[in-house]
Every structure is written in structure tokens, then in C-alpha cells.
């Protein structure tokens, strides 16, 4: 291998992850659709930064640049804690207050009725959500939402 080839290979490795996706996991931890996302997105240069609680998500946000966020409204505040108010809306608020808030895809549990669904949608949009997806989410729906985010916010190009 010539020296210019070595340099080219090392540049490829360094640029392998060009986009960070905050991937929060709340009530859908066992959902095969969402569990598939990291391995599907990795070859495209999308690094999934997974958080299983509000505390973990806060830590990820404080220590990484987030380009896109997928926030589950059912996200527990602490790992393994199913009691108490979910932390999903808190994470939306935290993301919205960043200097460069990332586009956010919100995952929400099945809603009791149309009125509750409308209120939930309105709250998510007020918190800056790009789109809201109901669980159980189909893989195609999530990938389409990610494609739309790239098209609208990044003009189909990777963030610099």
C-alpha cells in the first residue's frame, strides 16, 4: 500500500461517523423495529447514541453534538425505574434549549382517544418536534422520518 493510500484509509475511518443520532429507549426496549436502527444506520455514517433513561439521555446530550434526536415520550427518568413521570418531554425541552437544537422525531405510546392524541401532538410540536410517530412504529416509517429530516435540515448532505 502506498503512503497516499494509507492516508486515504485513515481519513475514511475518521469520517465514518458523520452524524450523531440520539436514540432514546423507553417503553419499546424490546421493539424489534427500533432495535434494528443502529445496525442499519451505522453503514451510512449515522452513529446511534442510545439512552435508556432521562439521566442517560441528558449525559449523552451534554457530551456529544446531536444532529438528530429520536425521543420516546415513555422514557423513564432513571434506568429500570418504571414509576413516576416519564422523562421524554423533559428531554425535548433540554434539546430545544441547545444553541443548535436538533430536529427531533418523537415516538409516543398508543393514545387513549383522538382528543388525547391531539393534545399530545400539540405538546410535542410546541417542544420543537419535527414529526410524531405512534408506537408500534414500522421500520419504514422511522427510516422515512430520518430521510425527511436529512432532506429538510441537511439538504441531503451530512452535517459538517
pLDDT over 70 at 91, yes or no: yes
- Does any domain span residue 87? yes
Reported as a single tens digit per residue, the pLDDT across 9-34 is: 333 334 456 899 999 987 655 566 77
Residue 33 maps to which CATH number?
A: 3.40.50.2300
* Region 109-116 average pLDDT: 82
- Does any domain span residue 26? yes
CA atoms within 13 A on the CB side of 44: 17
- Does any domain span residue 48? yes
By three-state DSSP, how is residue 102 classified?
coil
- Does any domain span residue 64? yes
What is the sign, positive or negative, of the torsion defined by CA atoms of 45, 51, 52, 54?
negative
- Does any domain span residue 65? yes
What letter would DSSP give residue 104? E
The pLDDT value recorded for residue 154 is 83
The pLDDT value recorded for residue 49 is 95
The pLDDT value recorded for residue 140 is 92
Q: How far is CA 67 from CA 128, 139, 140, 152, in A?
A: 14, 20, 20, 13
Say if CB 105 and CB 133 are below 8 A apart: yes
The pTM of this model reads: 0.81
Domain that holds residue 115: 17-154
CA 17 to chain centre: 15
Higher pLDDT, 61 or 13: 61
**How many structural domains comprise the chain?**
1
- Does any domain span residue 2? no
- Does any domain span residue 1? no
- Does any domain span residue 52? yes
pLDDT over 90 at 124, yes or no: no
Instruction: Provide the mean pLDDT of the chain.
Output: 82
Amino acid at each position: 500500500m502506498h503512503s497516499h493510500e494509507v492516508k486515504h484509509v485513515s481519513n475514511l475511518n475518521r469520517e465514518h461517523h458523520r452524524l450523531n443520532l440520539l436514540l432514546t429507549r423507553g417503553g419499546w426496549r424490546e421493539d424489534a423495529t427500533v432495535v434494528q436502527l443502529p445496525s442499519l444506520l451505522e453503514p451510512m455514517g449515522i452513529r446511534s447514541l442510545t439512552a435508556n433513561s432521562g439521566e442517560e439521555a441528558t449525559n449523552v446530550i451534554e457530551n456529544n453534538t446531536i444532529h438528530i434526536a429520536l425521543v420516546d415520550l415513555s422514557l423513564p427518568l432513571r434506568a429500570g425505574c418504571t414509576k413516576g413521570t416519564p422523562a421524554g418531554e423533559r428531554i425535548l425541552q433540554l434539546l430545544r434549549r441547545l444553541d443548535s437544537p436538533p430536529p427531533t422525531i418523537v415516538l409516543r405510546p398508543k393514545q387513549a382517544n383522538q382528543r388525547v392524541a391531539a393534545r399530545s401532538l400539540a405538546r410535542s410540536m410546541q417542544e420543537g418536534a419535527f414529526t410524531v410517530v405512534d408506537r408500534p412504529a414500522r421500520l419504514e416509517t422511522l427510516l422515512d422520518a430520518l430521510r425527511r429530516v436529512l432532506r429538510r435540515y441537511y439538504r441531503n448532505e451530512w452535517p459538517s
